Structure 1
């Protein structure tokens, strides 16, 4: 340890929703800590999203308990800049000790003494504990099948901002989770010809019988499910708060003018081929949608709730031509496609975290955020403790568990220190 090393009990890496949440709980437990953020608070909401993005959940739901959105209708959807401002205000309200513009470059366990040596762009820290609150949206992933063509603009959804950003021409959007489907819809409404590559997905109703799907998944116990159903852990959710919030309906998108295609398989010259799975993927999404309606109806009947019936929610557009006779391949040049937007998710980069906290696949080993490496914690990851873990409200509850664990460990160590002092008197 050098004279310039800063000592801190708990160091939190990342000041997004996870970092702000754990800071509140650590402060409540009296744990000295510091939150380091390489850019600004909630930076991914600012610069990692398109211009028109709004939260996918209503304002009454997608928030922390300690602060409401005072300028957004509870059933409305906050815009991305408003969400970023919310986390700034939350950090200010609870006096979170955040230092922005500081990048963590490595974390190493100390030898022969407790804690970790943390190297950053602002110097070296000696921390007893490290909370990794960098979230799941770290490194945009474009799959290796992406063509090497100078004739095409190819960007990840993280780099998409608005239709005017793109060159003239049609657009292929690969991926039909929340990001892909919202971007495809926006581009089509802006007058673009859009091809949307649809994979497996869940498709809950935006609202049903006067309640948002966030409420339904809550009362039905889905948000608190601790394990995913087989094959469902990584299935995307097609949901949107855009234009006041509407149920994602792929047949409606096709009626609107979007051409649906199956999972993108391969590129060869100007040709792109698609898996013959479009009908299956749409059918599975429909089944998920109807299952939520059935569960909601049963819950209403079981509890005698006075909520209006909504038979029209089960109505469906007829299958469009692109679903009845799906494209097996598309000549990008002939179709005038100038842009491919890869809405294909993210990977995590833990190369800076040089500790024994990962399995053979490089995934964090943890139990509800408590790592297999003592003193290291993870927060903000999907399914950290429950289905809702990666959501704003969910990360707050996970953070409380992590903070409680840190506080208990500190109490054990305090007893050890007191016992040693007593022994040497």
Structure 2
């Protein structure tokens, strides 16, 4: 019987994380293969709206061997520029990449290593790096099934531009990074927007003469490992702060949007039996106040850093609300409000059903320490706060990849010679 092909390392996922590991393995002469279900950088090419841009400055794009080298390090690359940067990274790495090959099963073998079943057959691997990210299944609540069929519904992963949606008001559900930016995109396009506000925090784009990211970098925030964060692993559950790099970068202020006509509601909680009346939780004022406290709290930490360092910087200040909700609105008639479309911006859930290994918690999230699991030779990379704030971003994945490559080399050296060469 013909034995399946054996690879020293199998990498699952051909995004920036998987190719970063490939870059390191190639440099160390480790034989490996990268399986990508779709095409390299699939998410970047298919799940970003037309006006998407980075929310962190270009200088933070530090993929291994491929730092940002353009003319605007403190600017924010737009979608097409991001894709060009990533395509150049792919060419730089020149990974042993198999596109259009879905990994259907990874399972540890009793004798060591892993069985890997793909859409093109089976192989074995000495080690496996899961680089498929954690944003797999778009979250859409079950109440969406009961909404009137004439209302167009899209998830943030499907949203492209305002012209994609039919005439009429747009309900955007969720005010995290995607929801806030999509609401802004629609607002700037002249669409009437109703925004169901969640608990996402916000931060300033610029403060005291510099981008807030620059200040936080100097303060060492981006070097802080998850184990030293005040929330520890709980920080992985935090919603990202909303801010934008659009038009050179600016704050996103939902209160200002409201003063310009955007209708703000609280968290969407249900749909009445009439299939027309949406229900919202009270607490919009508290949500906005909480986001502003985070905004002012980050700025206050920058104030303390400037004072302690004896730096000369323009004066700071405290954000004062430009709008307050006059009342709590708990219901909305879709028909009376003229809602013609809904954009769901409430995130994704992970889907690792193909990985048959005891490395998950009750919520389906991997249990790992800086990407290393309790199963020898099985690793994760590219997840938010895997190790630091930058782990799920262009800024920190190179360091994580370097760490996993070192772990892979250590694991290989500890294996019996006949298994390592299988």
Match of 1:134 in 2: 132
Match of 1:305 in 2: 311
Match of 2:113 in 1: 115
Query: Per the alignment, do residues 65 and 25 of structure 1 end up closer, same or farther by CA in structure 2, a change over 3 Å counting?
Result: closer
Pair 1:249 & 2:253 matched = yes
Return the match for 2:286 from 260, 280, 284: 280
Query: How far apart are the structure 2 equivalents of 1:410 and 1:91?
Result: 26
Alignment of 1:331-350 (within 5 A): 331-350=333-352
Query: How far apart are the structure 2 equivalents of 1:147 and 1:119?
Result: 34
Return the match for 2:378 from 376, 379, 402: 376
Give the TM-score normalised by the residue count of structure 1: 0.91
CA contact 1:19–1:133 (8 Å) conserved in 2: yes
Segment drifting more, 21-30 vs 278-287:
21-30
Query: Per the alignment, do residues 276 and 380 of structure 1 end up closer, same or farther by CA in structure 2, a change over 3 Å counting?
Result: same
Give the TM-score normalised by the residue count of structure 2: 0.92
Query: How far apart are the structure 1 equivalents of 2:225 and 2:381?
Result: 17
Query: How far apart are the structure 1 equivalents of 2:276 and 2:303?
Result: 49
Segment drifting more, 353-362 vs 34-43:
353-362
Match of 1:212 in 2: 211
Match of 1:10 in 2: 9
Alignment of 1:33-112 (within 5 A): 33-64=32-63, 66-71=65-70, 73-111=72-110
Give runs of ≥4 in structure 1 deviating > 4 Å.
227-232
How far off its partner does 1:72 sit? 5.1
- Where 1:87 maps in the other structure, the secondary structure is helix
How far off its partner does 1:123 sit? 2.6
How far off its partner does 1:225 sit? 4.2
- Where 1:254 maps in the other structure, the secondary structure is helix
Structure 1: 5+ residue stretches without partners:
none
CA contact 1:199–1:281 (8 Å) conserved in 2: yes
Return the match for 2:238 from 231, 235, 260: 235
Query: Per the alignment, do residues 304 and 181 of structure 1 end up closer, same or farther by CA in structure 2, a change over 3 Å counting?
Result: same
Query: How far apart are the structure 1 equivalents of 2:362 and 2:88?
Result: 40
- Where 1:92 maps in the other structure, the secondary structure is helix
Match of 1:161 in 2: 160
Structure 2: 5+ residue stretches without partners:
none
- Where 1:392 maps in the other structure, the secondary structure is coil
CA contact 1:177–1:239 (8 Å) conserved in 2: no
CA contact 1:188–1:258 (8 Å) conserved in 2: yes
How far off its partner does 1:130 sit? 0.7
- Where 2:98 maps in the other structure, the secondary structure is strand
CA contact 1:7–1:127 (8 Å) conserved in 2: yes
How far off its partner does 1:232 sit? 4.9
- Where 1:34 maps in the other structure, the secondary structure is strand
Query: How far apart are the structure 1 equivalents of 2:271 and 2:93?
Result: 51
Query: Per the alignment, do residues 290 and 246 of structure 1 end up closer, same or farther by CA in structure 2, a change over 3 Å counting?
Result: same
How far off its partner does 1:66 sit? 2.4
CA contact 2:351–2:364 (8 Å) conserved in 1: no
How far off its partner does 1:193 sit? 1.0
Match of 2:359 in 1: 357
